[in-house]
């Protein structure tokens, strides 16, 4: 019998075979792939958990482990007697990660008495939900340690410090200040920043992404911070206070814009007082206001200047610069104290008219009288005998035009005329102090040289460095060099005595002491113009006791309004402060009762240049 097959011609299915579902092959492939994936995943997990465990554990730890820089305690600043002028007090910084605080009101109630923040304010802080909230940046250490021991959730306590100035209005122009981060921004705080700041340390902590330590973790000190080295200044706080007080009262009395005063130890160059004040209640003038710290020194409107003006502000010193002319002429033997000069009221030199401060006919004065009465024309005639080269050389020898060894921030060397820029009119202008602009400290240095037997001594403000253990490392003595011979120097001292006895400086007389010095009333040039304004610098510089000098001092008052003369505005401040200083240091009297001779004294207006 013949078998019959359908027309599709398909082969007959074997007996006993079951049919394969349409998606069966795909399912088999899928199962195979899944099995392979699970095997690969298992291998990967094996490597992650066993082979590479240490590597990924380090990466995980690094995400929360932070090496935090810990600031060092800033070194203190002290006066010559150990009185504190600036100090850094260790404090606690309290920070909250408010995401970790579940019950802000409850935690605030417990924390409030410890951080000394009112409950309502503290509750609001702990409810901000920003991850980093400073609760206190100057908390007492005892309270800080107590908070740390109580382990409040989300609260971290770190070491910190705060800079304090026991008398925030004393010598601020010298000391300077610090910013919010504790770095020096002005004055000696800025100059000695690296020394005062010390060396930071490293503390390892476990912190959240918001910068707050994780709960139940402890910090590890990797490197301890090293406290900064402090400064022992040459300043005497008592004398500084008296000098600032008297200068402030003087500015108020004469409505002056700014006042400068420096008291120096003649032989060592140590600065015992350094005053720089501004009167914010008077007109600033064409040069603009003088930046101040914004704190009254006790007299309304009188504040400490931001910059230390005796070092940072140059001005034309006027008649005080005549020390250059007279010292050069005496050194070269061009004059003696009794050399007589015939002096007209005015001269025309290089197209400019120069005159004495007061009108007079043809007069005859000795060199001593020229200095005592501050004759501009007489000084010009003395300068002619010295000549251009001699005058310029003497300016350099006395230290003008050179920054001091103090290196105060912003210190100016001044602006001096030189041979390449010499004009014929400078034959008069330089000898009387009109063409050169110098800071007050350089004028004092020159007169201190006269007081110190003709030996120039560099000024200094830092007496020693205070190590963290309290020991003081003295600074090196100031450098010195001879400028005038002892004989010439003594002659000049005797001539400067006459300025106080019978000249323009009679208000500088101190009963019981001989005083030598020089007044100055210098016209202030208008910037960018040849004409001069009616504004002046009134100044006095001198030393005492003149027979055995111990202290030198300069006083400069900028733009006094009610009286302009150095003899009446600046000399009285010298008299008051120097009188205090002589008695403060127990300096013996000169043994004479020096008093002015009004019958022969020049008027105070004679020293105008």
Q: Which residues are registered as beta bridge partners of 391?
A: none
DSSP 270: B
Tell which residue, 202, 161, 179, has the closest CA to residue 73.
161
pLDDT tens-digit map of 482-520: 999 999 999 999 999 999 999 999 999 999 999 999 999
Gap between the Cα atoms of 26 and 32, Å rounded: 10
Collapsed DSSP state (helix, strand, coil) of residue 36 = helix
pLDDT bracket for residue 210 (50, 70, 90) = low
Q: If you average pLDDT over each of 157-166, 284-293, 458-467, which comes out highest?
A: 458-467
- Answer whether residue 5 shows pLDDT above 60: no
The per-residue pLDDT for 200 is 78
| Torsion of the alpha carbons at 522, 538, 414 and 498, rounded to the nearest 10 | 90
Task: Give just the sign of the alpha carbon dihedral 276, 281, 282, 283.
Answer: positive
Q: What is the pLDDT of residue 134?
A: 85
Lowest mean pLDDT among 44-48, 418-422, 458-462: 44-48
> In angstroms, rounded to a whole number, what is the distance separating the alpha carbons of residues 331 and 336?
10
Residue pair 492/516 in contact (Cβ under 8 Å)? The answer is no
Is residue 129 predicted with pLDDT exceeding 80? no
SS3 558: strand
Query: 539, 518 in Cβ contact below 8 A?
Result: no
- CATH class as words, domain 65-88+160-231: alpha beta
Domain ranges of the chain: 65-88+160-231, 237-607
Average pLDDT over residues 169-181: 94
Closest by CA to 312, choosing from 446, 448, 441, is 441
How high is the pLDDT of residue 192? 98
**What one-character DSSP code corresponds to residue 526?**
P
CB of 292 within 8 A of CB of 276? no
Burial label, 276 (beta-carbon count in 10 A; 0-12, 13-18, 19+): buried
pTM, 2 dp: 0.83
pLDDT single digits (tens) 546-577: 999 999 999 999 999 999 999 999 999 999 99
Tell me, what's the pLDDT at 313? 97
Q: How confident is the model at residue 13 (pLDDT cuts 50, 70, 90)?
A: low
Pull the structure tokens for residue 476: 């090196």
Q: Is the pLDDT of residue 452 over 50?
A: yes
DSSP line for 73-133: PPPPEE-TTS-EEEEEEEEEEEEE-GGG-S-HHHHHHHHHHHHT--HHHHHHHHTS-SS-E
Give the burial class of 313: count Cβ atoms within 10 A of its Cβ; 0-12 exposed, 13-18 middle, 19 or more buried. Answer: buried
Q: Indicate if the pLDDT at residue 606 is higher than 90.
A: no
Q: Please determine whether the domains at 65-88+160-231 and 237-607 fall in the same fold group of CATH.
A: no
Q: Band the pLDDT of 529: cuts 50, 70, 90.
A: low
CATH number of the domain located at residue range(s) 237-607 in this protein:
3.40.710.10
Within 476-598, strands assigned E span 480-482, 516-525, 532-544, 551-558
pLDDT for 213 equals 59
User: In this predicted structure, what is the pLDDT of residue 472?
Assistant: 96
**Dist. CA 522–CA 316, nearest whole Å:** 6
364 - beta bridge partners?
Answer: 342
pLDDT band at 97 (very low <50, low <70, confident <90, very high): confident
Percent of the chain exceeding pLDDT 90 equals 63
* Mean pLDDT score of the chain: 88
pLDDT at 120 exceeding the cut of 80: yes
Q: Which of 498, 502, 499 is nearest to 598 (CA)?
A: 502
Give backbone dihedrals phi and psi of 158, rounded to 5 degrees, phi first.
-125, 155
Residue 301 has pLDDT above 60, yes or no: yes
Do residues 406 and 538 touch, judged by C-beta distance below 8 A? no
pLDDT score recorded for residue 18: 55
Do the beta carbons of residue 164 and residue 87 sit within 8 Å?
yes
Whether residue 238 has pLDDT greater than 80: yes
Cα 255 from Cα 272, distance rounded (Å): 26
More confident residue, 117 or 230: 230
Q: What are phi and psi of 178, to 5 degrees?
A: -125, 160
Phi first, then psi: give them for residue 220, nearest 5 degrees. Answer: -120, 130
Residue among 405, 427, 128 at smallest CA distance from 271 = 405
Q: Regarding predicted confidence, which is higher, 35 or 344?
A: 344
CA distances from 383 to 132, 323, 344, 389 (A): 72, 11, 16, 11
For residue 199, give the DSSP letter: B
C-alpha count within 13 angstroms, C-beta hemisphere, residue 4: 1
Residue 235 in this model has a pLDDT that exceeds 50: yes
Q: Is the per-residue pLDDT at 130 higher than 80?
A: no
Task: Provide the pLDDT confidence category of residue 401 given band limits of 50, 70 and 90.
Answer: very high
Distances (CA, A) of 202 to 64, 69, 90, 91: 16, 5, 17, 18
């Amino acid at each position: 019998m013949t078998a019959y097959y359908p027309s599709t011609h398909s082969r007959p299915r074997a007996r006993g075979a079951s049919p394969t579902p349409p998606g069966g092959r795909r399912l088999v492939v899928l199962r195979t792939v899944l099995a392979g994936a699970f095997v690969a995943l298992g291998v990967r997990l094996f490597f992650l958990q066993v082979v590479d465990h240490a590597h990924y554990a380090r990466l995980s730890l690094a995400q929360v482990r932070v090496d935090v820089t810990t600031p060092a305690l800033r070194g203190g600043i002290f006066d010559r007697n150990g009185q504190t002028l600036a100090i850094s007090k260790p404090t606690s910084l309290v920070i909250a990660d408010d995401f970790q605080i579940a019950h802000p009101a409850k935690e605030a109630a417990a924390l409030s008495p410890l951080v000394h923040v009112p409950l309502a304010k503290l509750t609001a802080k702990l409810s901000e939900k920003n991850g980093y909230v400073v609760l206190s940046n100057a908390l007492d250490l005892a309270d800080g340690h107590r908070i740390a021991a109580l382990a409040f959730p989300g609260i971290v306590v770190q070491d910190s410090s705060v800079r304090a100035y026991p008398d925030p209005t004393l010598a601020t122009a010298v000391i300077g200040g610090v910013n919010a981060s504790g770095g020096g921004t002005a004055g000696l705080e800025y100059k000695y920043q690296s020394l005062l700041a010390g060396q930071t340390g490293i503390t390892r902590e476990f912190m959240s992404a918001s910068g707050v330590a994780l709960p139940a973790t402890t910090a590890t000190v990797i490197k301890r911070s090293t406290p900064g080295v402090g400064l022992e200044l040459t300043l005497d706080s008592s004398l500084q206070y008296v000098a600032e007080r008297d200068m402030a009262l003087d500015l108020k009395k004469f409505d002056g814009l700014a006042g400068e005063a420096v008291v120096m130890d003649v032989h060592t160059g140590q600065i015992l007082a350094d005053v720089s004040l501004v009167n914010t209640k008077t007109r600033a003038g064409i040069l603009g206001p003088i930046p101040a710290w914004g704190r009254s020194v006790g007299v309304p409107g009188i504040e400490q200047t931001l910059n230390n003006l005796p070092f940072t502000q140059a001005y034309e010193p006027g008649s005080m610069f005549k020390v250059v002319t007279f010292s050069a002429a005496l050194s070269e033997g061009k004059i003696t104290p009794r050399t007589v000069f015939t002096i007209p009221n005015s001269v025309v030199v290089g197209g400019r008219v120069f005159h004495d401060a007061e009108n007079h006919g043809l007069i005859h004065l000795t060199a001593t009288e020229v200095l005592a009465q501050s004759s501009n024309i007489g000084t010009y005639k003395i300068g002619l005998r010295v000549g251009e080269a001699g005058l310029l050389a003497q300016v350099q020898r006395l230290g003008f035009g050179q920054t001091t060894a103090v290196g105060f921030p912003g210190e100016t060397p001044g602006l001096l005329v030189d041979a390449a820029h010499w004009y014929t009119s400078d034959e008069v202008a330089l000898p009387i102090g009109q063409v050169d602009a110098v800071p007050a400290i350089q004028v004092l240095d020159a007169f201190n040289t006269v007081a110190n037997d003709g030996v120039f001594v560099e000024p200094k403000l830092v007496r020693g460095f205070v190590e963290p253990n309290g020991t003081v490392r003295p600074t090196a003595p100031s450098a010195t060099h001879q400028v005038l011979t002892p004989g010439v120097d003594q002659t000049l001292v005797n001539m400067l005595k006459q300025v106080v006895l019978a000249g323009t400086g009679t208000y500088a007389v101190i009963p019981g002491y001989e005083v030598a010095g020089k007044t100055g009333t210098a016209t202030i040039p208008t910037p960018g113009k040849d004409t001069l304004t009616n504004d002046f610098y009134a100044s006095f510089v001198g030393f005492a006791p003149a027979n055995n000098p111990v202290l030198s001092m300069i006083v400069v008052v900028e733009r006094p309004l009610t009286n302009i003369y150095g003899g009446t505005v600046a000399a009285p401040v010298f008299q008051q402060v120097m009188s205090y200083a002589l008695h403060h240091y127990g300096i013996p009297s000169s043994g004479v009762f020096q008093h002015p001779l009004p019958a022969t004294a020049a008027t105070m207006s004679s020293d105008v240049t």
